[in-house]
Structure formats: structure tokens, C-alpha cells
Amino acid sequence: MNFEIVFVLFVLAGMIAALIWDKMRPGMVLFTVVVLFLCVGILTPKETLEGFSNKGMITVAMLFLVSEGVRQSGMLALLFKRLLPKGKTTVAKSQIRLLPVLAGMSAFLNNTPMVVIFAPIIKRWAESVRLPSAKFLIPLTFAVSLGGVCTLIGTSTNLVVNGMIMEAGYEGLSMFEIAKIGVPVAIAGILFLVLFSNKLLPDSSVNSPDNSIVEDPKEGLHIIEAVLGPRFPGINKKLGEFNFTRHYGAIVKEVKTGGQYVTTNLDDVVLSEGDTLVLWADDSFITTWGDSRVFLTLANGKEEEPPISNKKRWLALILFVFMITGATLGELPAFKEAWPELKLDMFFFVCITMVIMAWARMFPARKYTKYISWDILITIACAFAISKAIENSGLAAVAAKFIIDMSATTGVHTLLAMTFLITVLFSQLITNNAAAALSFPVALSVAGQLGVNPMPFFMVTCVAASTSFCTPICYQTNMIVQGLGGYSFMDFVKIGLPLTILVFLTTIFLVPIIWPF
């Protein structure tokens, strides 16, 4: 091994450790890695910056704003509330009704806003029909993740992999190309959740106190649950050091962290992203902080009906359909021939949709930057550079040769399976986009050295990078529902591991049939 390969290996090991340690935001960790590669000459300044101008990364930024416009229109919440079963029902019947719709919505919308919107609604509804909310919140986030695999824009990871495919000189994916494997995987996953989640998930969390909504002796205060977001200023600080009451005018009653409920010695609790605080607060708390990125979601046990006009709801729906239909039709040969000077792809239509939403005040245009997750964008941009560094150093070729030699007697299907397993392992430990960045150049090199069609390896990388089911820390939506549902770490393992195995088997069986080697 030469110096560059050893250096890249050493730095990537440090990156994985830093992401698991979680003392710094992923974007900054990956940017540090990119700077180190730049300093030793593995990346040129041009290669370092290419990810920041990548069409996929900019598309993700625009989709954040489109998702926010749809969210603030109230359209999703209104449709979903009408879908919820009324009166007596069962867990399985309710899941059959809800999970396919959730997966379908998430194929076109950002996963995190969907979980932020629907998790409190589902929790209130489950309590109203006397069903345990713990039976629904993990299936909610898993269904959303499964739906995200069904289209090019369903998750940022698909757009990242698509950008890497085009940078490698291949034709990019169409809107529904990945649906050929994404839809079967989603169907299999949803069937598994309906059949087994009731048995595998707890009726209620362990160590759970009585959280029934009651009035505080202090007049006008009531219970609010607040899930901490990455922008919460007290992350990694003790609650006593941060002084939550002084900052937000609310009193912390309990802290839900790691599936445990802490009700004593609260000042000694170290706060982490995804923790849920149970607060005594007045009616102004949600009004003040409900639109803030400090908290991922807020729930007070009441139905919140913001005064939104039907015109905005219909406009949101029309614009959303326009974006999806336009991007789909723009890929047809007839449209490409009619307007050869225009690239009528998702980037084109999402930009138009976002601008119309801004001028129609679908979201506050003066505050548009707050609705974009800049850390995710920086992570994506750096992922392109890290992938390039793995290729430039020769590490991708060496790793591919090692994998091929290891599986010399078992054939290309085993290599495809190993690609999935390596990628899914990374996705449990680090961000999905970082997992794709590490796996893609190796997958590309494996296909190149074998002289086979690389598309099966690309598809496996997309699916595996989005298979974040086994731990609560591997995906933001998992952390959101962990606090609200009071889940333990092992609750995710018990249902997430068999679901991951099912996705693995489905993917490895179908991908070579759909995209032959």
C-alpha cells in the first residue's frame, strides 16, 4: 500500500469514530476530512468544491423548501387526520390503512418533516382509540424510510448516488428507475410490519411513569413534549448547566433519553439530540417555538389547527403535482426532442416550484434559510469529495480487488451481497450519505474490474444506504420517535434487524433480475 491509501484509511477510520462519538455535527466532521485530503494533495481544490455545485445537492436544498411549503399549507396533516380510523379498531387494521399511504407520501417528500408532522398526530389518535402508541411510531418511521427508496427524490441519498453515477460518466437515474426495486422492497417491508410489529414492539416503554395529561397546580400550565433538535443550544450540556427555564420559560418535568425516563436528579442529565423533554409550559410555548428548528417536534396533547386558507392547501397540492408530473414527463424521449435545449429534470421543476411557493408565501420567504438543513447539504457536498478521494488514492481499486479475491469462487452475486452488507453496516453507524460515499467508489471499482454492468451495484448501494432500521441513532426520524414512543435501544434491534434481513434478501434476489449483469 502506498502512502495515499494508508492516509485515506487512517482518516476514514477517524471519521467513522468521530461520527459515532457524535460530539460534532456530521457536516463539520466530513468537511474536516475533505480539508485533510486537500492538504496532502489527494484532492485538488476543484475536486474539493465540486460537490458544493453538484445538481443533486442543490436539488436537495430546494426540496427542503418545497417540503416546508407543503407542510405549512396544512395539506398533509388534514389528509392524514381524515385517513385515521374512527372508533374501535385493531393495530393490524390501522397499520394496513396507514403504512402504505405514509410510504407513498414519503416517496416524494422529505422524511423528517413527515415524521415531525405525523408522529404527534398518531400518538394523540392512538391514545384516543385506546391503542398503545408504541405499536405505531417505529412503523411510522420505517414506512417513511421504505417509501423514500421508491423514487429519485424520496431521500437525499438517492440524489447523492445519482450524482456520483453521473460523475462516473454514466447516464443518471430517471424519477422512477429505482422504483423497480424500491416498490417491492417497500411492499415486503410493510407486510412485515403489519404481521410482526404488534408482537415485536412493546405495549408501553420500560420504566415509564404515568404520563397522562394533567393540569399543573400552577394555573395555566400544561404538559408539552419537546424533542430536541441539532440546533438546540444545550446539546451535550447538563440540564442544570443549561438552565432550560431561563431560556424558554418552561419547567422540565421529565427527560426521555435512550428509552429511559429520568424523573429525578434532572440537573445531572446530559442532553442529546433526539431526547424528549416533558415540560410544564403555558399556551405561548408552542406558538413561540413551534416553527423553530431548536425542537424537532412539539406535542401538547391538543389538536392544533392553524388558520390556513383552503386556497393555500389547493395551491400546495397543484404545485406538488406539477413538480412530480413535470419531472416525470420531462424524461420522456418526446419531450427531450421537443426541447433539446432544456433539461426538463427534477432540478428544473423543483426550482420553479420553490420560487412560486416563495412568492405565494407558502413559507416565510424572508426566513427561507432556516428551513434548509445546512448540515445535511454540507455532508452531501463533502460526500462527493470523499468518494473522489477514495478513488484517487487507489483505495477503491484495492478494496475491490480484495473483495473479488475473497469471493473468487462464489460469483458476482456474492459480491453484490457483500456490497449491500458493507453499505448497510456503515448506515447503522454513520449518516446515510456518508455511507453511500464510502461504498459507491468500491462498488464502481468492483463492477469495473469484473467487467459487468455496474447498475446492480448502484441500486444495491441506494437501497442499503437507506436501510437504517437497527438502531435509534442511525437516522434522525428514529431519534424523534424514540423519545415520543419511549422505546429502548433493543426495541429497534428486535424489529429493525429482521426487517433489514428481509430487505437484504429481497434486494439481492430482485436486482440482478431487473438489471442483469
Per domain, the residue ranges of the chain are 222-299
The average pLDDT across 395-415 equals 81
Note the pLDDT tens digit of each residue in 285-330.
877 887 677 887 777 665 555 556 778 888 988 998 898 888 888 8
**Would the pLDDT of 401 be above 50?**
yes
Count of alpha carbons within 13 Å of 144, Cβ hemisphere only? 24
**Would the pLDDT of 377 be above 70?**
yes
**Would the pLDDT of 205 be above 60?**
no
The closest of 459, 18, 491 to 258, measured between CA atoms, is 491
Q: Which amino acid is at 350?
A: V
pLDDT category, 71, cuts 50, 70, 90? confident
pTM over cut 0.85: no
pLDDT category, 70, cuts 50, 70, 90? confident
**Would the pLDDT of 212 be above 50?**
no
What secondary structure does DSSP assign to 152-176, as a single string?
A: TTSSHHHHHHHHHHHHTTSPPPPTT
**Would the pLDDT of 423 be above 80?**
yes
Q: Which three cell numbers stand for residue 330?
A: 420531462
Q: What is the mean pLDDT of the chain?
A: 85
**Would the pLDDT of 175 be above 90?**
no
Note the pLDDT tens digit of each residue in 238-295.
888 888 888 888 888 888 876 677 888 888 888 888 788 888 888 788 778 876 778 8
Instruction: Tell me yes or no: is domain 222-299 CATH 3.90.1180.10.
Output: no
The pLDDT value recorded for residue 207 is: 45
72 sits in which H/E element: helix 55-73
